[in-house]
Structure 1
Amino acid sequence: MEQFVCYNGEIISEKDFSIAPNNRGFYFGDSLFESMHAHSTEIPLFSLHFDRLIQGMEVLGYEQPATFTSTLIKSGIVKLLNRNKQFKSTRVRLTVFRNPGGLYLPSNDSISYLVQTTNLDFDKLAHRLPSMIVDVFPNQIKCAGEISPFKTGNALLYVMAARYAKLNRLHDCILINQHGRYVELSSSNLFGLKGDTLVTPPLQEGCVAGVMRNYIINRLAPSIGLKTELKPISQKEFLEFDEVFSTNAVSGIRNIVGIGTKRFYSTRYRKMQSALEEMLF
């Protein structure tokens, strides 16, 4: 079936879309993106995604056109979902990139944007994904900085971590910072549960300011009687957690059962995932 994309507000056939040879997202990774979960034509966390995107655009110096508003972008996504006849769970990717011009120094800060949608192989949240065995990605660190909270087109660190996981028969890898502390996984944030407290690294450690991370801290955890604590996580502290989870906006919460020879319990994961699904959908 023919698929469509939304480019600068216009719905066009995917086969008719192409980028310019000097596209700055392609040349320099000069882009930002958001991966969202749509169910039917609802995007439960859209406002959090859009707010993070605008913050990232401000940091990168992108101009925000008058037509790039929360209302208009959401309307365009809904039109695209309808055009592609995607009425179950769908991954929506919104990419913003600086328009061509200049080398490292851009000649202008105007932007273009692209929306793409793909069907997910699960409905609502991912209850049936296998429990994860992970390990530390040893080849590169992630440092905190002005752009570390955002999802940029310069994602080679995550590509290499995901590739390392596959080559080593792992489900994912944990990224560490310059202090040797745990930051996040290749495509998700990291949480540990100790008693009734959920622990996750603060942004100062270098992790992405995850939309699902935000929602769990501010909405889910209080609703199910859990406290949250933002604190650095050392290797020793990680191994002392009762349970460990990865979180992202598309699949929700996924449990981690092992790192190296260490195994974790997995007694509260499904209840948390079910509570999250009920709140979102």
Structure 2
Amino acid sequence: MISYNGNLVAQSDITIHQNRAFLYGDAIFETLKVLDGKVLFIEDHYFRLMASMRIVRMEIPMYFTMEYMEQKVVELVNSLNLNASARARLTFFRKPGGYYLPTDNNTEFIITADTLDTPIYHFSDTVYEVDLFKDFYVTKQLLSSLKTVNKMVQITGSIFANENGLNNCLLLNDDKNVVEALQGNLFMLMDNKLITPPVVDGCLNGIMRKQVLAIAKKHEGIIVEEASISPFDLQKADELFITNVIVGIQPITKYRKKEYNNHLALGILKKLNAQIRLGLV
């Protein structure tokens, strides 16, 4: 069961050889966490989606309000009996027509969903090793900050990580600075300074990144900064962690020969879960 243009159907019957998402990667998507009938961070997801569609010049349906978006996501989750917690994906793509130049900027959308094992964010202190992925780079441009379906860097990087027994890889931009992980934003603690790459360096404008920045800025004794991170900085860091809306916060325990603690990551995650329980997100 999926939601196709707001209707629950068994399948979309989309003609794949005409679909622009398949042919040209002409699509934008959002990955959402649904908890107890509510889409977490719905306002942030909605406005990022709207901004992304405007940037790539997709027409936004007039009826597609934030309330409509949440209603349709929750409707699908309930129809699938996914219980307390679910992952949903909302994908917008342009209607068929044209080659690189579309003949129609109007859009369609599909929502899919599957279950998640844990309702609130779970803290993992198991070994989590990363290294740099150097085969391809993230470009320093606005498109890199959007969730488009062109994810070949992340796909080839994931294959590289799997082949080398790594849990994840860190991606570099064309200035050879570290911008993000394969599946989320990167944060680095060095002394009392928490640093994350700025969006202008090419990282995803992440929803969980925004939540962590807001929480960290209220954390006593921590200075929060958006600044470029070089590979050499990783060796001097006290703590590294990855953020996304599905996992929440994933501590990195090892990069090459350097091992890290996870004290700040644990503290931020506890505050994040507290906000969720109080209905503040």
TM-score class, shorter-chain normalisation, is over 0.9
1:45 CA drift (Å): 0.7
Is structure 2 residue 158 aligned with structure 1 residue 167? Answer: no
Partner of 2:217: 222
Amino acid at match of 1:39: L
Correspondence for 1:205 among 201, 204, 220? 201
The answer to whether 1:151 aligns with 2:147 is yes
Secondary structure at 1:61 match in 2: coil
**What is the one-letter code of the residue matched to 1:90?**
A
Once residues 223 and 84 of structure 1 are traced to their aligned partners in structure 2, the CA distance between those partners, rounded to angstroms, is 39
Aligned-partner Cα distance in 2 for 1:204–1:107: 31
Q: Does 1:9 pair with 2:6?
A: yes
TM-superposed deviation, 1:138 = 1.4
Number of aligned pairs?
275
Secondary structure at 1:147's aligned position in 2? helix
Instruction: Tell me the amino acid that sits aligned with residue 54 of structure 1.
Output: M
Q: Say if 1:213 and 1:247, in contact at 8 Å, map to a contact too.
A: yes
Q: Does the aligned pair in 2 maintain the 1:40–1:86 contact within 8 Å?
A: no
Verify: 1:19 aligned to 2:14, yes or no.
yes
- Distance in 1, Cα, partners of 2:12 & 2:106: 20
Q: Does structure 2 conserve the Cα–Cα contact (< 8 Å) formed by 1:243 and 1:264?
A: yes
1:120 and 2:116 are equivalent in the alignment: yes
Match of 1:67 in 2: 63
Q: Which residue of 1 aligns with 2:179?
A: 183
Partner Cα distance (1:234, 1:129) in 2: 25
1:90 is matched with which residue? 86
Aligned ranges for residues 234-273 of structure 1 at < 5 Å? Answer: 234-273=230-269
Query: How many Å separate the matches in 2 of 1:152 and 1:270?
Result: 31
Tell me the secondary structure at the aligned position of residue 108 of structure 2: strand
- Name stretches of at least 5 consecutive residues in structure 1 with no aligned partner: none
The corresponding residue for 2:35 is 39
- Give 1:77 shift: 1.1
**Which residue of structure 2 lines up, in the alignment, with residue 77 of structure 1?**
73
1:97 is paired with a residue whose SS is strand
Shift in Å, 1:227: 2.9
Structure 2 alignment gaps of length 5 or more: none
Corresponding letter in the other structure for 2:225: E
Mark the CA change 1:81 to 1:171 in structure 2 (over 3 Å): closer, same or farther: same
Which range moved further: 135-144 or 115-124? 115-124
Q: 1:104 to 1:113 in 2, by over 3 A?
A: same
Secondary structure at the counterpart of residue 211 of structure 2:
helix
* CA–CA separation in structure 2 for the residues paired with 1:135 and 1:18: 41
TM-fit CA distance, 1:94: 0.6
Would you say the 8 A contact 2:142–2:202 is kept in 1? no
CA-CA distance at 1:238 after TM superposition: 2.1
Q: 1:193 Cα shift? A: 1.1
In structure 2, what is the Cα distance between the partners aligned to 1:112 and 1:157? Answer: 26
Distance 2:234 2:41 in 1: 29
Q: 1:24·1:99 contact (CA, 8 Å) conserved in 2?
A: yes
Secondary structure, counterpart of 2:158 in structure 1: helix
Alpha-carbon shift at residue 172 of structure 1 (Å): 0.4
C-alpha contact (below 8 Å) 2:128/2:167 kept by paired residues: yes
> Does the 8 Å contact 2:142/2:200 carry over to 1?
no
Give the match's secondary structure for 2:145: coil
Following superposition, the deviation at residue 129 of structure 1 comes to 6.9
Counterpart Cα distance in 2 of 1:126 and 1:120: 11
Q: Percent identical across equivalent pairs?
A: 29
TM-superposed deviation, 1:66: 0.9
**Structure 2 SS opposite 1:239:** helix
Letter in 1 for 2:3: C
Backbone CA RMSD of aligned residues: 1.4
